Every structure is written in structure tokens, then in C-alpha cells.
Amino acid sequence: MEESNIIVKILHPNDWEGYKGLRLESLLHEPLAFGSDYNEEKNLNHTDWQKRLADWVIYGAFNADILIGLLSVVPDTSLKFAHTASVVGVHVLPAYEKKGICKILFAQMFQGLLERKILKISLMVTVVQIRAISTYLALGFQIVGMAKSQLFYNGIYYDMYYMEKYV
């Protein structure tokens, strides 16, 4: 697989089935990467999935017709914060990791943010996700703070970094 074979598009409500499948897989594969939990989302109905796709900006990376990666962004809609957005989920299928898919998704997102006149993007990442932190730093994000005991999973509290980047 070459990077040139990857197509990135914004997912729409009619893409809900593919999105649901990869989203649930991501929650099982990387539970510390998400504030949501598999058991919370597995029973959502199709209208819940469609609403999310309508409300968020979700970039999907495809290799042929296979959805292999997701990057979910929530633009702030309030007047005073309309220049900002938050990354709320990133996942690439394990078979496609370390092949530049995340970089491709973020490049498309940065371009889309500029078109929407969004100047600053932020995210949170669990401090134990060393590879994700390294990726975000390589993409130009900076650590700007830490939230102590922000995520609770399997009886353990995890600290999270706040990271941001000006587009």
C-alpha cells in the first residue's frame, strides 16, 4: 500500500455503518485513547450515529473501499470560540499503522480548518500514549497543560496532556 492510494473524505450521515464499525473497533483496541467507552457506544442506534456524523467533522481514510482510519473534529460553534476546534478521536486500523495514514488525515484536517477560518486546534491525550504524543508533537502540536486524573479506566486514573496547534 502506498500513500498515494489513500483517499480521505469527510464522512456523512449515510456513512454511518462503516463509521460505527471502525469507531467501535477503535474503542476496543485503544480504550485509553477515548473518553467514550465501547459499552456506552455499542448500543447506539443508527440515528445516533448519523447525528454524530452530521454534527462533527469526521475525516475517513480509505484504501480502495475500505475505511482504515478516522479523525474526528468538533468545531466550536459559540461566537467567541468559533476560531477553535477540538480533535476528539483519532484511530487507524492496526494493519495500517506506521504507514503515514495519521499524517494524511491531519493534513486534510488542517486544510479543512483553514477553509473554515479555524485558527487553533486542541486535543487531549493520555500521558501513557507515548506513540500518539510523539505523533502529535511531530505534527506541530505543543503540550500546554496537564489534567490530573482526567480519565478513569479499569480502576485506574490517568493524567492527560492538553495539546494545541495554531493552523
Q: Which residues pair with 119 in a beta bridge?
A: none
pLDDT of residue 2: 57
What are the two backbone dihedrals, phi and then psi, of residue 82, each rounded to the nearest 5 degrees? -65, -15
Fold observed for domain 3-123: Aminopeptidase (3.40.630)
pLDDT of residue 5: 87
Which one-letter amino acid corresponds to residue 41? E
The length of the chain, given as a count of residues? 167
Q: Over the stretch 108-163, which tens digit does the pLDDT of each residue have?
A: 999 999 999 999 999 999 999 999 999 999 999 999 999 999 999 999 999 999 99
Q: Over the stretch 34-71, which tens digit does the pLDDT of each residue have?
A: 999 999 999 999 999 999 999 999 999 999 999 999 99
Look at the block and give the residue holding cell 496537564: 146
**139 touches 103 (CB < 8 A):** yes
What is the domain partition of the chain in residue ranges? 3-123
Q: Which residues lie closer than 8 Å to 151 by C-beta, 6 or more apart? A: 32, 35, 126, 157, 158, 160
Q: Over the stretch 6-21, which tens digit does the pLDDT of each residue have?
A: 999 999 999 999 999 9
pLDDT of residue 3: 57
pLDDT of residue 4: 64
Averaged pLDDT of the chain: 95
The C-alpha cell at 121 is 486546534
pLDDT of residue 6: 94
Ramachandran sector of residue 80 (left: φ over 0; alpha: ψ -120 to 50; beta: rest)? alpha
Virtual CA dihedral for 71, 11, 21, 77, nearest 10 degrees?
60
Q: Over the stretch 101-118, which tens digit does the pLDDT of each residue have?
A: 999 999 999 999 999 999
